[in-house]
Structure 1
Amino acid sequence: MKVPLRWPVGDEAASELVLERFAPEQTFKTKVYAALKQAIINMDIYSTPEPTWIDERQLSERLGVSRTPVREAIAMLEQEGFVKSMPRRGIMVLKKTRREVVEMVQAWAALESMAARLVTENASDEEIATLRTLFKDFGEAHKPSDFVSEYSQANILFHQTLIRLSGSKVLADMTANLLVHVRGIRQITIGRDDRASRSIVEHLNIIEALEKRDADAAERFSRDHTLGLSTYVDEHGDIFD
């Protein structure tokens, strides 16, 4: 069913926008796509060299929908580079090469540094204070290097929160497609070469700049912190073995 929508302009030919109602199967496809994409983003695909597979039939059963919207959602995710359908094998969640990951981390650095600047302009003091609470349990008696798994969770949440506090939906949307890869790489590198100990110092520098509403410093500290990860990935290709 097509519904004409009229705009208050002079030219009648230009004042009618014809929209087509969403069909139920399109709505299902969109919901399945969103659910599946979020599930993939939450996966830790870089923790093992083995490929990660998802099963179309199991997805259909767990989501309580037919296999048609599942196939359509998978096709959308394949176009975005999240998965690849392998004939007679299934659907593989795609990892990136070292070069691709380096470029993704560099892109994240640019986006997050802009987010840090926006936080100084848009976030309240109370919101900025939540960033510091993420690390309140860490200190000499509870070193990040001794509790890597715990610190890794706080680390990931810090970066996600920084993006959210920027108040920019565009930045949130742009980083969403990078998250599955950047987060995975952060998780597998944070416990190496005492990176956790340096990481918390850099995080606290970013937070201090945010608290002072020093946009230039917050942007610089955030960018340099993440670019340090891209350099590390570039120099340590063995993390992909």
Structure 2
Amino acid sequence: MSIETNIQRVGIGAAKLAVAPLEDTSTFKNRAYAALKDVIVSLNIYDQPHEVRLDERQLAQSLGVSRTPVREAMAQLEREGFVHSVPRRGIYVVRKTKREVIEMIQVWAALESLAARLITQHASDEEIATLRAMFATFEDGAPHAKLDEYSEVNIQFHQAIIAMGGNGILVNLAENLFTHMRMIRRKTIAEEDRADRSIQDHLAIIQSLEARDTDSAEVLVRNHALGLADHVSRYATYLA
């Protein structure tokens, strides 16, 4: 189901999110959770000049359900760190602090570098070849006009690295973390020529995976992630 995001702030009022009504009423809580999470992730929260407050009543009306499944979905999203409730004020989309973002990236570096090691040991040549295919149109650089397209390919690449490692527990550990990472990656990819450097990093990673060079692949993937942590530390002035 396609969900369009439309943020409209009026004074200090809640953000009005345009979400489609739920067609299947059998799993209201799960479907409300999935719909709201998709909308929150698509908000580009780090580009918003103000806190984004969610209107529970408006969301329930937009989804075509009662407030109960929306409230339950919000509780789950709060446990996962996507929203937080403020007594007598409402529910807000979480903006991670700079320290929190850097710590998430550090953990991601450890998980993804382990996945790279596993890929060199267990993934097929055909699986690894799909990584290079992702970058066929970007090997000569990423023109500004293609930045949005590259941003999505960049995210897909890192998801594929984790999945291709073939370790189910690793995939589960990374799933929620990557959703947070997705939001900061989308913000940072256009900063300080990171797109061009990211492409070169990715191609070097792919080459090491193709060569089954386990130590090199592990180091390159880890350093690539930690490079993002360093970038955030130096340039992310929009983070508290």
Is TM-score (shorter-chain normalized) higher than 0.5? yes
Deviation at 1:177, TM superposition (A): 2.1
| TM-score, length-scaled by structure 2 | 0.79
Partner residue of 1:194?
Answer: 193
Partner residue of 1:65?
Answer: 65
Partner residue of 1:93?
Answer: 93
Deviation at 1:162, TM superposition (A): 1.3
Given that residues 125 and 211 in structure 1 are in contact (C-alpha distance below 8 angstroms), is that contact kept between their aligned partners in structure 2? yes
Moved more, 81-90 or 148-157: 81-90
Aligned equivalent of 1:144, options 142, 145, 165:
142
- Distance in 2 (CA, whole Å) between partners of 1:116 and 1:43 is 30
Deviations 1:26-72 (A, max 9, x none): 96434433443344344422122322333322332344432112212
Deviation at 1:112, TM superposition (A): 0.8
The structure in which a higher percent of residues are strand is 1
Distance of aligned partners of 1:113 and 1:26 in 2 relative to their CA distance in 1, 3 Å threshold: farther
Asked which structure has the greater CA Rg, the reply is: 1
Given that residues 49 and 240 in structure 1 are in contact (C-alpha distance below 8 angstroms), is that contact kept between their aligned partners in structure 2? no
- Distance in 1 (CA, whole Å) between partners of 2:58 and 2:201 is 43
Q: Secondary structure at the match of 1:238?
A: coil
Listed as ranges, the matches of 1:3-22 within 5 Å are: none
- Distance in 2 (CA, whole Å) between partners of 1:175 and 1:41 is 16
Q: Which amino acid aligns with 1:137?
A: T
Partner residue of 1:203?
Answer: 202
Given that residues 117 and 215 in structure 1 are in contact (C-alpha distance below 8 angstroms), is that contact kept between their aligned partners in structure 2? yes
Identity %: 53
The runs of 5 or more residues in structure 1 that have no matched partner are 1-24
- Distance in 1 (CA, whole Å) between partners of 2:119 and 2:42 is 25
Partner residue of 1:126?
Answer: 126
- Distance in 2 (CA, whole Å) between partners of 1:34 and 1:188 is 22
| TM-score, length-scaled by structure 1 | 0.78
Partner residue of 2:233?
Answer: 234
Cα RMSD between the aligned structures? 2.4
Aligned residues: 215
- Distance in 1 (CA, whole Å) between partners of 2:81 and 2:188 is 23
Q: Which amino acid aligns with 2:215?
A: D
- Distance in 2 (CA, whole Å) between partners of 1:26 and 1:83 is 25
Partner residue of 1:8?
Answer: none
Q: Which amino acid aligns with 1:225?
A: H
Deviation at 1:204, TM superposition (A): 0.6
Distance of aligned partners of 1:65 and 1:101 in 2 relative to their CA distance in 1, 3 Å threshold: same
Given that residues 145 and 191 in structure 1 are in contact (C-alpha distance below 8 angstroms), is that contact kept between their aligned partners in structure 2? no
Listed as ranges, the matches of 1:150-229 within 5 Å are: 150-229=149-228
Given that residues 188 and 239 in structure 1 are in contact (C-alpha distance below 8 angstroms), is that contact kept between their aligned partners in structure 2? no
Moved more, 198-207 or 120-129: 120-129
Moved more, 124-133 or 42-51: 42-51
